[in-house]
Amino acid sequence: MCLLAIQYCVVSESPILVASNREEFFDRRSSGPSIQAGKPRILCPTDQRSGGTWLGVNQHGVLVGLCNRRVLEPLGSNRSRGLLCKESLKGTTARECLDKALEELQRHQFEACNLVIADRDFGFVIHHETENEVINMRPGLNIIGGRNLNDPRDERVQLASRLLTLQTLDSPVKFLAVASRVFSRAPNPSNRANMVLRGADYGTVSSTLIALGAKPRDAIYQYSDGPSDEARYEDYSPMLRDVLSRGARDARSKIVA
């Protein structure tokens, strides 16, 4: 299961602040963030098995993130959930991306998952099992893992919530600094819930920090290719700024035309 925290519409200069850890089997390889071909341009890491992703930002400033959802029995699928995440990024607004996600969920069979879709105006979460439940994301700290959004039954979600609310995170720098420490919290045998998971063949394989601001030049994207208690966060902000600048140029061109 993955874990994703989004501080939504709290900091005016950065309405979307994200920290995310990805959990996967260690033999399922992925490549780091890159700009995907096609329109709209998308910056995301890529699952090498399916070609999908679990977290991306498109040139219009829409963020989509995916967490596998805990269920008693598999639903059966004919398509990777990572492709659902990637296809959902092909809209110009969060509302359009929500519509694309629901169309994909109707068209194909996917295993259970939670999908987060947000831009500066609207935020949504889809809880997908046999039915789809769409939640409007409220301003504030929102955290999701293998259960519902901000689920009180999820010990890991509740731990992240406590650690991220010990101080006021009223700037992107503060949020990312604190989130990098929280999401790098190493496994502790005395605690049932941990931020970094490490098993024999499954555990935390990467970590991502993102800040989306009002201007492309203020965007931040940091990625740890490995559990962040061991691997350093590398800076991919120039790539994200390039993607967002392209979107801003396209938007201006349409207005002029």
For 46-79, what is each residue's pLDDT tens digit? 999 999 999 999 999 999 999 999 998 889 898 9
* 257, pLDDT greater than 70: no
pLDDT band at 159 (very low <50, low <70, confident <90, very high): very high
pLDDT at 251: 73
* pLDDT surpassing 70 at residue 256: no
Q: What is the pLDDT of residue 249?
A: 83
pLDDT value at position 111?
Answer: 97
Tens digit of pLDDT for each residue in 88-122?
Answer: 999 999 999 999 999 999 999 999 999 999 999 99
> Under 8 Å CB-to-CB from 212, ≥6 apart: which residues?
14, 15, 16, 17, 57, 61, 63, 120, 219, 244
pLDDT at 184: 96
Q: What is the pLDDT of residue 252?
A: 74
Instruction: Take residue 188 and report the two structure tokens written for it.
Output: 């502790």
Please give the Cα distance from 204 to 144 (Å, whole number): 16
Q: How many residues does the chain have?
A: 257
Say which CATH number the domain at 123 has.
3.60.60.10
pLDDT of 255 > 70? The answer is no
The amino acid that residue 231 corresponds to is A
227 phi/psi in degrees, rounded to 5: -60, 130
Q: Which domain holds residue 118?
A: 3-256
> Total structural domains in the chain?
1
Write down the pLDDT at residue 191.
63
What are the tens digits of pLDDT across the range 123-158?
Answer: 999 999 999 999 999 999 999 999 999 999 999 999
Note the pLDDT tens digit of each residue in 161-214.
Answer: 999 999 999 999 999 999 999 999 998 877 677 899 999 999 999 999 999 988
